[in-house]
Amino acid sequence: MTTIHRRFANAEAELANGFAEHATMGAEAMLTLGLDPAAVLKWADRHHPVPVADGSPLDVAREEIASELADGDWASVLRHHVAPRAGRLDAHLFHGLIRIAHATRALQYHDDPDARIELATGLAAWTVWAGDEHEVTRSTAADPLAEILEMARRGAGAFVSSPSIFTLHAVTAPMAYLLVADHLDADTHAVAAAVFARIHRRHPVPPVRTDYSAAPTAAELADLTRRWDAHPAKLVEAALRGLALSGDAVFSDAVATMIV
């Protein structure tokens, strides 16, 4: 990931069309799936970074956070910035949360300055997208993380029934939160669970099933590097984690839906 992180170290987090920059997230998901690093690098090379404007809100926020990360414990910096923004997990279709989740996992495997800049960019983008006003409610669930996994299960059912960019993120967003959950506290989990419950309550509760769809083949996974879009790889990786955590076949259905 170092080469890709370095290439996108000064890239805008939001493209001119309003979409989030996905190159680093997609590459990290592909590598987690065990795809060929050379093929992943070739995939990333098809995405072209747009330089951050000097003095822009993203530039200012990123430099401040990068300074905190330069010498400090990155997990402490993560906690410090996520906790007050947990009420806006959904900002910019969850992309601040999702980007820091992929950055956090990359840091756990290889902590270097480029990986820390990627985390700073994700946190800065979330800061800009979230704004200053955050409505905060807390879940009363006995286990907020179990509730978040259940929301991902609902999202998977919704994606299988009606695949769209919105139902796709109904899976990837709660699964992204579970990637960073070990670094956050119980109060943040309760706030996050409330956000997901509010957004996911529109999706029906799928029945619990164990009649799994066929696992993706190596060739089908490799094909993810031939798609321009990062979303297929991110969905497949998130849904496979959901399957491993829950044992529920709806996640395998989501994978099968995506790789068709």
Q: Is residue 136 part of a domain?
A: no
Share of the chain above pLDDT 90, in %: 94
CA distances (Å), origin 140, targets 80, 187, 198: 23, 11, 13
* Cα dihedral across residues 193, 240, 104, 54: positive or negative: negative
Domain carrying residue 43: 2-130
In percent, how much of the chain has pLDDT > 70? 100
- Determine the pLDDT at residue 92: 96
User: Are 29 and 117 found together in one domain?
Assistant: yes
Measure the CA–CA gap between 243 and 239, rounded to whole angstroms.
6
Q: Is residue 148 part of a domain?
A: yes
Of 89, 87, 165, 96, give the one whose Cα is nearest residue 124: 96
Tell me, yes or no, whether 62 and 151 share the same domain: no
116 shares a domain with 17: yes
137 part of a folded domain: no
Per residue in 94-104, pLDDT tens? Answer: 999 999 999 99
Statement to judge: residues 194 and 81 lie in one domain: no
Tell me: pLDDT of 16 over 90. no
Total count of domains within the chain: 2
Residues 98 and 155 in one domain: no
Residue 106's alpha-carbon distances to 29, 56, 142, 255, in angstroms, are: 10, 26, 30, 23
Quick check: is 198 in a domain?
yes
Answer yes or no: do 119 and 7 share one domain: yes
139: in domain: no
Residue 46 buriedness (CB in 10 A; 0-12 / 13-18 / 19+): exposed
Residue 133, pLDDT > 80, answer: no
Structural contact between residues 203 and 17, judged by C-beta atoms closer than 8 angstroms: no
- For tokens 């139902």, name the residue: 167
φ, ψ dihedrals at 173, nearest 5°: -70, -55
Is the pTM above the cut of 0.85? yes
Question: Does residue 15 lie in a domain region?
Answer: yes
Ordered alpha helix ranges (H), 15-112:
23-32, 37-45, 57-71, 74-82, 95-109
Q: Domain check: are 58 and 155 in the same one?
A: no
Clarify whether residues 10 and 119 are in a common domain. yes
- The reply to whether 151 and 217 lie within a common domain is yes
> By the 8 A CB rule, do 228 and 42 touch?
no
Beta-carbon contacts of 160 under 8 Å, excluding residues fewer than 6 positions away, are 250, 253, 254, 257
Confidence of residue 9 (pLDDT cuts 50, 70, 90): very high
201 and 82 together in one domain: no
CA distance 186 to 188: 5
Does 154 lie in the same domain as 111?
Answer: no
Q: What is the pLDDT of residue 15?
A: 87
Average pLDDT over residues 194-212: 96
Tens-place pLDDT, residues 158-197: 999 999 999 999 999 999 999 999 999 999 999 999 999 9
pLDDT at 260: 75
- What are the tens digits of pLDDT across the range 34-51? 999 999 999 999 999 999
Average pLDDT, rounded, for the chain: 95
Write down the pLDDT at residue 222.
97
DSSP letter at 55?
A: T
Residue 88 lies in a domain: yes
Per-residue pLDDT band at 59 (split at 50, 70, 90): very high
Among candidates 25, 34, 76, 10, which has minimal Cα distance to 234?
A: 25
